[in-house]
């Protein structure tokens, strides 16, 4: 009976469910796996790839033709025919400094070379680090203080004494319009730009900015007047090779077609272009010719009667057909403020992103206008009324 009892007790213990291993056992297992993976990585994947080295032995005449960099130094300070090559070394004298002052400037065979951390007058050995189309970059390898010389910076470029005084008031006649639409006059040969004036205006102005070659003025008063004769522009004119079309005392009538690049009105007589300063597109003018050349002539307006701007076909230039729906209505009236002057001297503004040219208006004018022609990107307007900007 005792043995049976012990057997039953043993069987009961063996039938009890086994308890799971503690959590710390799982943690040790994970750490072991991580350690094995790290050792595997260090042994097999962390090795740097070996660089393939190709060696060749060159002998005889061929060896002389192969450019091999032996770290030799070429004296470019005396050899003006030296050729800069990347990775090669040169002895140079720093001649100047860059505009920002962070690098020295030298030349290797005429090639401008920038050398950071070098100062004018120093004799240094440099290595070319980068070659560009017109310049090169180098770094200092060695300084040669025994050959360094004192450097005297070049004198600043002389400037001319100012012609105008800040509080001076000057009087002149506007000669023409510049490329950006500003009026131009000259005082003792110096060009003065006068925004807001027109050719022929007699103006008083003060100078707000002066440079060596030109100045910019602020118009104080302006009085419209006749446009100066062409000789006032001080530009030589080529001699005529064809018989003249106009007579000196002849009076001609035409309609202004457009504004030229310099702001002069343009018409045509028997195919010849005639510039009419002071007129506007659409004007019916009488004029006499004051100068004639083979390809064009310049006239003086005697009378002008404003009229509708000619249709684009009058310009004898093909206009591209519109591919977008028109933005403006032919009989509608629009308002806006002139924001700029175009290359041909026309005032312009924008309506919902589309540029509208308004001949006859001035910068800053509040205008009422209608559109007489429209293209995909621009439109041509006719000014009905304008309110000049406050001075």
Q: Residue range 300-312: average pLDDT?
A: 74
**Read out DSSP for 149-170?**
----PPPPPP-PPPSS-TT--E
Strand arrangement, sheet containing 135-143:
73-75, 89-93, 123-131, 135-143, 111-116, 103-108, 96-97
The H helix count followed by the E strand count for the chain is 3, 25
Cβ within 8 Å of residue 190, ≥6 positions away? 163, 213, 214, 215
Please count the CA atoms within 13 angstroms of the CA of 315 that sit on its side-chain side.
Answer: 14
Highest averaged pLDDT of the listed ranges 127-141, 171-185, 296-310: 127-141
Average pLDDT of 112-119? 91
159/349: higher pLDDT: 349
Least confident stretch, 17-26, 172-181, 303-312, 342-351:
17-26
Architecture of domain 170-223: Beta Barrel (2.40)
Task: Kindly give, in sequence order, each residue whose CB lies less than 8 Å from that of residue 17, ignoring residues fewer than 6 positions away.
Answer: none
Lowest mean pLDDT among 40-54, 116-130, 353-367: 40-54
Q: What's the CA gap between 313 and 258, in Å, rounded?
A: 11
> What stretch of H or E contains 35?
helix 23-44
pLDDT surpassing 90 at residue 30: no
Dig out the tokens for 49 from the structure. Answer: 């790839």
Contact 275, 296 (CB under 8 A): yes
Mean pLDDT of the region 368-389: 84
- Band (317; pLDDT cuts 50, 70, 90): very low
The CA distance from 93 to 40, in Å, is: 56
Q: What is the mean pLDDT of the chain?
A: 78
Listing DSSP states for 122-140 in one string gives: -EEEEEEEEE-SSEEEEEE
Per the rule left: phi > 0, alpha: psi between -120 and 50, beta: everything else, 111 is: beta
What is the CB neighbour count within 10 angstroms for residue 288?
A: 15
Question: pLDDT value at position 99?
Answer: 76
Provide the β-strand partners of residue 197. none
Q: Which helix (H) or strand (E) holds 8?
A: helix 2-15
Other Cβ atoms less than 10 A from the Cβ of 252: the count is: 17
Q: Given pLDDT bands bounded at 50, 70 and 90, which one contains residue 236?
A: very low
pLDDT given for residue 234 in this prediction: 47
Q: What is the pLDDT of residue 71?
A: 67
Nearest to 205 by CA among 216, 220, 190: 220
Q: What is the DSSP string of 291-303?
A: EE-SSEEEEEEEE
Query: Comparing C-alpha atoms, which of 112, 109, 115 is closest to residue 80?
Result: 109
Q: Which of 111-125, 186-200, 291-305 has the highest mean pLDDT?
A: 111-125
Percentage of the chain lying above the pLDDT 90 cut? 12
In 10 A of CB 40, how many CB atoms? 10
CATH architecture of 322-387: Beta Barrel (2.40)
Q: DSSP assignment of 266-282, as one string?
A: EEEETTEEEEETT--TT
Please enumerate in sequence order all residues whose Cβ is within 8 A of that of 149, keeping only pairs 6 or more positions apart, or say none: 93, 121, 123
Interval 100-117 mean pLDDT: 88
Count of Cβ atoms closer than 10 Å to residue 268 Cβ: 15
CATH number of 61-147: 2.40.50.140
Tokens for 4?
């049976």
| Phi-psi category of residue 69: left, alpha or beta, with phi > 0 → left and psi -120 to 50 → alpha | beta
Tokens of 253: 């009538």
pTM across the whole model: 0.30
Higher pLDDT, 27 or 222: 222
Amino acid 123: pLDDT: 92
> What residues does each domain of the chain span?
61-147, 170-223, 240-305, 322-387
Give pLDDT, residue 2.
Answer: 47
Structure tokens, 89: 């070394």
Q: Of residues 311 and 258, which shows the higher confidence score? A: 258
Residue 104 CB burial class (10 angstroms; 0-12, 13-18, ≥19): buried
- CATH architecture entry for 240-305: Beta Barrel (2.40)
Tally Cβ neighbours within 10 Å of residue 128: 20
Band (391; pLDDT cuts 50, 70, 90) = low
The mean pLDDT value for 148-174 works out to 77
How many Å apart are CA 245 and CA 289, to the nearest integer? 10
pLDDT for residue 124 is more than 90: yes
């Amino acid at each position: 009976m005792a043995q049976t009892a012990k057997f039953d007790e043993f069987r009961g213990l063996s039938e009890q469910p086994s308890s799971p291993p503690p959590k710390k056992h799982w943690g040790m297992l994970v750490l072991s796996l991580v350690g094995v993976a790290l050792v595997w990585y260090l042994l097999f994947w962390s090795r740097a790839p070996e660089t393939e080295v190709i060696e060749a032995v060159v002998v005889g005449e061929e060896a002389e033709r192969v450019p091999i960099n032996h770290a030799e130094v070429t004296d470019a300070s005396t050899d003006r025919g030296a050729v800069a090559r990347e990775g090669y070394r040169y002895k140079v004298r720093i001649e100047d400094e860059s505009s920002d002052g962070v690098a020295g400037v030298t030349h290797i065979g005429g090639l401008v070379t920038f050398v950071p951390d070098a100062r004018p007058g120093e004799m240094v050995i440099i290595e070319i680090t980068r070659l560009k189309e017109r310049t090169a970059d180098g770094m200092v390898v060695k300084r040669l203080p025994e050959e360094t010389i004192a450097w005297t910076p070049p004198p600043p470029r002389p400037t001319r004494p100012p012609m105008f005084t800040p509080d001076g008031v000057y009087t002149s006649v506007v000669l023409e319009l510049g490329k950006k639409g500003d009026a131009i006059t000259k005082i003792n040969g110096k060009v003065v730009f006068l925004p807001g004036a027109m050719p022929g205006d007699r103006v008083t102005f003060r100078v707000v900015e002066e440079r060596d070659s030109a100045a910019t003025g602020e118009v104080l008063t302006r009085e419209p007047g006749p446009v100066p004769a062409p000789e006032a522009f001080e530009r030589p004119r080529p001699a005529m090779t064809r018989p003249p079309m106009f007579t000196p005392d002849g009076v001609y009538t035409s309609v202004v077609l457009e504004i030229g690049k310099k702001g002069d009105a343009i018409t045509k007589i028997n195919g010849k272009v005639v510039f009419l300063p002071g007129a506007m597109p659409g004007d019916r003018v009488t004029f006499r010719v004051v100068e004639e050349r083979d390809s064009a002539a310049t006239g003086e307006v005697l009378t002008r009667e404003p009229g509708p701007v000619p249709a684009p076909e009058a310009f004898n230039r093909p206009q591209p057909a519109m591919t977008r729906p028109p933005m403006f209505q032919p009989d509608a009236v629009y308002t806006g403020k002139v924001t700029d002057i175009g290359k041909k001297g026309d005032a312009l503004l924008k309506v919902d992103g589309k540029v509208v040219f308004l001949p006859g208006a001035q910068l800053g004018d509040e205008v009422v206008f209608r559109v007489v022609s429209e293209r995909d990107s621009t439109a041509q307007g006719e000014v009905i009324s304008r309110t000049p900007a406050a001075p």
